């Protein structure tokens, strides 16, 4: 058994209870499976950039690990991967975390990183690359601060290409917009409509939690979130069926209110929202963006035709998918056709005993449920 496997085995808790699929569906996850999502996402972003900048071509997972551990302080050739020195230090920590992340997760992510590294070398063979920069916290020189790229390819001819990276299965549909409800109210400049959402959620959802009237009311409940989260957790553990019904109502109201906000936009405002926030591949920008998806140890460029029809859109309408608890749709019209955008609003985390109340999902998210766009139907 290698050093990495020994380290992982020593850190795994003993006598860990077994959870079935029903438990997992409710967000109940063993401690050993709770991982740093920032670190795992960074594996597929940072490691291919480090490999390319050091002229390394990984052939397998163990080969990749040995290369990464030998990089040390990430200076010399590795230094050009980072925008700032604080990002370099973050990179060191991510490599160190390989030893404590679940082994199966590390295997999957490193396979994806191998695929993305191969994609970079394929790009290089057709158009020589000078370096690849990790867009971790700050964007590199010459790139807009709001650019959706995860890594940036600097060609020898001085051109720059942004790459948005996704990982999944061959049939999975990863979100192209991956944001939050409140964030997108601000993005569409409809902050004044947030109060309507809050009022609707209080009336139909939060006021139904037993004991909530003792700690909050319609006017102040958004300032008493942790007290309400604790009451919600108690209610969920005692009566999950009713708690799940409140969550379904929360999703319905959140979708209804956001659809109203979207439908209040002018055509120009709507198209600007899509252009700025939906990570659309745009080859006409100063720093073009492409989407690359990794499946196993392969990676290929993917497209979304929304970018192509965006200039032609002359009308739109947002509405609920009544057969789904979390999906909502936006029909976009051009002079020749109608396309339908698949949108969702949902919680990105579960509810369980022992979790910090500030980190509870579902009703614990209030106006910060996930808001995602996954492509055209």
What integer pLDDT is reported at residue 76 of this predicted model?
84
Task: Locate 120 and state its tokens.
Answer: 């970079």
Residue 145 has pLDDT above 80, yes or no: yes
pLDDT per residue as tens digits for the range 87-132 = 999 999 999 999 999 999 999 999 999 999 999 999 999 999 999 9
For the beta sheet containing 315-320, the strands, ordered from the edge strand earlier in sequence to the opposite edge, are 177-180, 370-376, 338-346, 327-333, 315-320
Place of tokens 């480090």: 50
C-alpha–C-alpha distance, residues 96 and 71, integer Å: 11
Instruction: For residue 115, count other CB atoms closer than 10 A to its CB.
Output: 22
Residues found in the chain: 377
Average pLDDT, stretch 143-150?
89
Residue 213 has pLDDT above 70, yes or no: yes
User: Does residue 325 contact residue 317 with C-beta atoms inside 8 Å?
Assistant: no
* H/E run at residue 299: strand 298-302
Residue 231 has pLDDT above 80, yes or no: yes
Q: Using the 8-state DSSP alphabet, how is residue 95 labeled?
A: H
C-alpha–C-alpha distance, residues 295 and 118, integer Å: 12
Q: Is the dihedral of CA 148, 250, 322, 170 positive or negative?
A: positive
Instruction: For residue 218, count other CB atoms closer than 10 A to its CB.
Output: 13
pLDDT per residue as tens digits for the range 248-288 = 999 999 999 999 999 999 999 999 999 888 878 766 678 98
Nearest to 283 by CA among 269, 299, 304, 268: 304
Nearest to 290 by CA among 170, 152, 178, 129: 152
User: Does residue 292 contact residue 302 with C-beta atoms inside 8 Å?
Assistant: yes
What integer pLDDT is reported at residue 234 of this predicted model?
97
C-alpha–C-alpha distance, residues 257 and 79, integer Å: 47
pLDDT per residue as tens digits for the range 307-340 = 889 999 999 999 999 999 999 999 999 999 999 9
pLDDT per residue as tens digits for the range 72-90 = 999 888 899 999 999 999 9
Task: Locate 178 and state its tokens.
Answer: 């991956």
Q: Chain-wide mean pLDDT for the chain?
A: 88
What integer pLDDT is reported at residue 86 of this predicted model?
95
Q: What stretches of the chain show up as alpha helix (H) in DSSP?
A: 3-11, 21-25, 37-53, 61-69, 85-96, 103-126, 181-187, 194-204, 225-238, 240-263, 267-277, 306-309
Q: What is the pTM of this model?
A: 0.69
C-alpha–C-alpha distance, residues 347 and 370, integer Å: 6
What integer pLDDT is reported at residue 282 of this predicted model?
67
pLDDT per residue as tens digits for the range 14-72 = 333 333 333 333 333 333 334 456 678 899 999 999 999 999 999 999 999 999 999 99
What integer pLDDT is reported at residue 9 of this predicted model?
39
194-204 vs 240-263: helix crossing angle, rounded to 10: 160
- With cut-offs at 50, 70 and 90, classify the pLDDT of residue 363: very high
The CA distances from residue 131 to 54, 95, 126, 140, 376, in Å, are 9, 20, 15, 12, 34
Task: Locate 30 and state its tokens.
Answer: 């063993």
What integer pLDDT is reported at residue 21 of this predicted model?
36
C-alpha–C-alpha distance, residues 177 and 9, integer Å: 37
37-53 vs 61-69: helix crossing angle, rounded to 10: 80
Average pLDDT, stretch 364-375?
96
Average pLDDT, stretch 185-190?
98
Residue 13 has pLDDT above 50, yes or no: no
Nearest to 73 by CA among 88, 51, 57: 88
Domain ranges of the chain: 35-167, 177-279+304-376
Instruction: For residue 57, count other CB atoms closer than 10 A to its CB.
Output: 14
Task: Locate 377 and state its tokens.
Answer: 């139907």
How many alpha carbons lie under 13 Å from residue 248 in its C-beta half-sphere?
10
Instruction: For residue 78, count other CB atoms closer than 10 A to its CB.
Output: 21
What integer pLDDT is reported at residue 304 of this predicted model?
74
């Amino acid at each position: 058994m290698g050093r990495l496997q020994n380290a992982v085995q020593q850190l795994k808790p003993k006598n860990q209870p077994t959870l079935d699929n029903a438990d997992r569906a409710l967000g109940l996850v063993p401690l050993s499976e709770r991982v740093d999502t920032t670190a795992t996402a960074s594996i597929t972003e940072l490691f291919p950039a480090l490999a390319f900048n050091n002229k390394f071509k990984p052939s397998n997972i163990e080969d990749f690990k040995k290369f990464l551990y030998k990089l040390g302080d990430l200076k010399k050739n590795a230094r050009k991967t980072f925008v700032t020195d604080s990002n370099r230090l973050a990179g060191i920590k991510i490599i160190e975390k390989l030893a404590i992340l679940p082994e199966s997760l590390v295997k999957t992510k490193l396979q994806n990183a191998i695929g993305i590294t191969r994609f970079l070398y394929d790009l290089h063979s057709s158009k020589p690359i000078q370096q690849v920069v990790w867009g971790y916290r700050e964007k590199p020189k010459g790139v807009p601060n709001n650019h959706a790229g995860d890594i940036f390819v600097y060609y020898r001819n001085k051109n720059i290409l942004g790459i948005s990276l996704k990982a999944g299965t061959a049939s999975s549909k990863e979100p192209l917009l991956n944001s939050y409800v409140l964030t997108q109210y601000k993005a569409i400049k409809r902050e004044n409509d947030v109060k309507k959402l809050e009022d609707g959620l209080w009336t139909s959802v939060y006021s139904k939690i037993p004991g909530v009237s003792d700690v909050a009311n319609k006017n102040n409940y958004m300032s008493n979130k942790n007290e309400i989260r604790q009451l919600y957790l108690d209610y969920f553990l005692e009566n999950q069926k009713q708690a799940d019904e409140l969550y379904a109502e929360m999703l319905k109201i959140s979708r209804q209110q956001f659809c109203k906000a979207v439908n209040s936009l002018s055509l120009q405002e709507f198209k600007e929202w899509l252009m700025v926030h939906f990570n659309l591949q745009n080859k006409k920008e100063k720093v073009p963006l492409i989407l690359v998806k990794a499946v196993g140890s392969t990676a290929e460029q993917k497209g979304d035709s929304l970018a192509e029809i965006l200039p032609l859109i002359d009308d739109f309408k947002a509405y609920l998918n009544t057969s789904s608890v979390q999906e909502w749709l936006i029909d976009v019209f051009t002079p020749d056709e109608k396309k339908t955008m698949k949108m969702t609003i949902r919680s990105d985390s579960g509810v369980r005993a022992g979790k910090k109340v500030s980190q509870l999902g579902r009703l614990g998210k209030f106006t910060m449920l996930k808001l995602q766009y996954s492509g055209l139907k």
